[in-house]
Structure 1
Amino acid sequence: MTALTHSAQRLLDKLDGFRVEIDAGRKRADIVLARPPFNIISMFQRDQLRLVFEALDEHDDVRVIVLRAEGEHFSSGGDIKGFLEATPEHVSRLAWNIAAPARCSKPVVVANRGYCFGVGFEISLACDFRLVTETTQYALPEQKLGQIPGSGGSARLQKMVGITRTKDVVMRSRRIPGQQAYDWGLATEIVPDAELEAATDRLVEELVVFSPLAQRTAKKLLNDTEDASLSASIELEGHCYSRLRQSHDFKEGVEAFHGKRKPTFTGN
């Protein structure tokens, strides 16, 4: 395994409730929630998760990041007591920390089984690909505490499934089963529970084959144009296409296509 470094290494010296596994040979990094059975996410852990995503984004040996968890539940949510003890400044950073997967330029895959509540759901919504099983249950249950989602959950969910469904989920603290999440377009794929790891492996193996430059460009383009008008989105897409046309990866892709061989992309 390759070591993980970051400018804020002091905060990463002892990871709280999770670990990081880097497999340079497979061009993959796994962030593994490791506080079973419910993998409750502490306030300090949120800071560390952000830093880890930033460090992995700069890591040359990593092309795809996987967020997963030990045990039968992804995460039942945050540490409730931690909210009462946190300073207003710390609370104000919650959404920024949990948005780290979306800001990361590399593809982020999350594997969700069992409970995926509160911040567990919110950080999953910030990922690019969500894999679920028949045991998965998504929820934003903050109304039961006299609160609302505070890390971007209701906003992201509304963008994905609309205001009517989001009000039903948020205002009633209603759970979304895995199959329904897939039917609504929240999940990329639904697989039997025993096949979640294999499905994750297959998706990672598929993603690492593509040009990292083209993938970074596609992710940023799609994120940046989510709220843009159609004409502005088409204009920006054209500029991104033009820039990629000058890249070594595009030249390699064209030559490989005509040469009937697999391309070797370098990200240049």
Structure 2
Amino acid sequence: MKYIQLTEQYRPYVSLIQLNRPKELNALNMELMQELQQTLTTLDADTNVRVIIITGNEKAFAAGADIKQMADKKTIDMVAIDQFKTWDLIKKTKKPLIAAVSGFALGGGCELAMTCDMIVASETAKFGQPEIKIGIMPGAGGTQRLTKAIGKAKAMEMVLTGSFISAEEALNYGLINKIVPVELYLEETAKLAETIAAMSPVAAQLAKEAVNRAFETHLDEGLHFERKNFYLTFSSEDQKEGMKAFIEKRNPEYQGK
């Protein structure tokens, strides 16, 4: 595996997946997401695994999607690529998923953390959906899961301004489970995972399914709507300008076209 590292028995019945693109702050390119999805599918079928942790490093859980892979794409290109098929398969993971987040969890990184069932964050964690700053909008659940987790007003502010929230704010809003010191965030996540792994794996999977059913009522409809609008942003000149400016490390000049 090129973009992730797997420790199958990080703790008894607990596997650890570490995103491994440190120079890119673990930006989620399509290859990484495919590796992640395939690994989760394998672990989901492994009876020696009951809980799965996904983490990055102290500096970044994942600082967003890989913009260079999308910058020159048009709407029809994005539909043809169908990158969200991978996300849909990740969402179907039956075993409990825990995100161990330190540093940046932005854009796709925030969406990946929210796809997990629980989030343990270090004191340095920052969450955000800054896609608006490059002329697009969230496309992997950001407008849907974030709104359901923290409410319309704050979600609208984050999505429309691209602003970040701290770990403390995320805890207050109900986005995460707990905050721990940076040096302990992975250890505390492992303790939570071990507690869950000690329970009946059948009951845990059924309970997860039931909780998600309550949380995700009408979510698929919302995701479909979000995805359509995400694809439409690639018909805009603003999207091209926003991503080009990002790559060129300058401020974008939007024309509203």
Which band: TM-score by shorter chain?
0.7 to 0.9
| 1:18 counterpart = 2:4 | yes
TM-score, normalised relative to structure 1: 0.75
Structure 2: which amino acid aligns with 1:45?
L
Which structure is higher in RCO with an 8 Å CA cutoff and minimum separation 6? 2
- Indicate the residue corresponding to 1:239 in structure 2: none
- Indicate the residue corresponding to 1:75 in structure 2: 62
**1:35-80 CA-partner distances (Å, limit 9, x unpaired):** 1141122122212212221111111111110001134211111110
What is the rounded CA distance, in whole Å, between the counterparts of 2:60 and 2:215 in structure 1?
Answer: 31
SS of the aligned residue for 1:74 comes to strand
**1:149-203 CA-partner distances (Å, limit 9, x unpaired):** 1111111101111111111000000101000001100001111111112201211
Structure 2: which amino acid aligns with 1:31?
I
CA contact (8 A) 1:101 1:127 kept: no
What is the rounded CA distance, in whole Å, between the counterparts of 1:25 and 1:192 in structure 2?
Answer: 20
- Indicate the residue corresponding to 2:106 in structure 1: 117
In the TM superposition, 1:48-197 aligns within 5 A as: 48-84=35-71, 87-89=77-79, 91-94=81-84, 96-197=85-186
SS of the aligned residue for 2:65 comes to coil
Identity of aligned residues (%): 27
What is the rounded CA distance, in whole Å, between the counterparts of 1:170 and 1:25 in structure 2?
Answer: 37
User: What is the RMSD of the two structures over their aligned residues, measured on CA atoms?
Assistant: 1.9
What is the rounded CA distance, in whole Å, between the counterparts of 1:175 and 1:72 in structure 2?
Answer: 15
Unaligned runs of 5+ in 1: 1-14, 230-268
Pair 156,91 (structure 1): closer, same or farther in 2 beyond 3 Å: farther
Stretch deviating more after TM superposition (125-134 or 100-109): 100-109
CA positional deviation for 1:100:
4.3
Q: Which has the larger radius of gyration?
A: 1
Stretch deviating more after TM superposition (69-78 or 141-150): 69-78
CA positional deviation for 1:88:
2.5
- Indicate the residue corresponding to 2:230 in structure 1: none
Pair 97,129 (structure 1): closer, same or farther in 2 beyond 3 Å: same
What is the rounded CA distance, in whole Å, between the counterparts of 1:158 and 1:133 in structure 2?
Answer: 22
SS of the aligned residue for 2:179 comes to strand
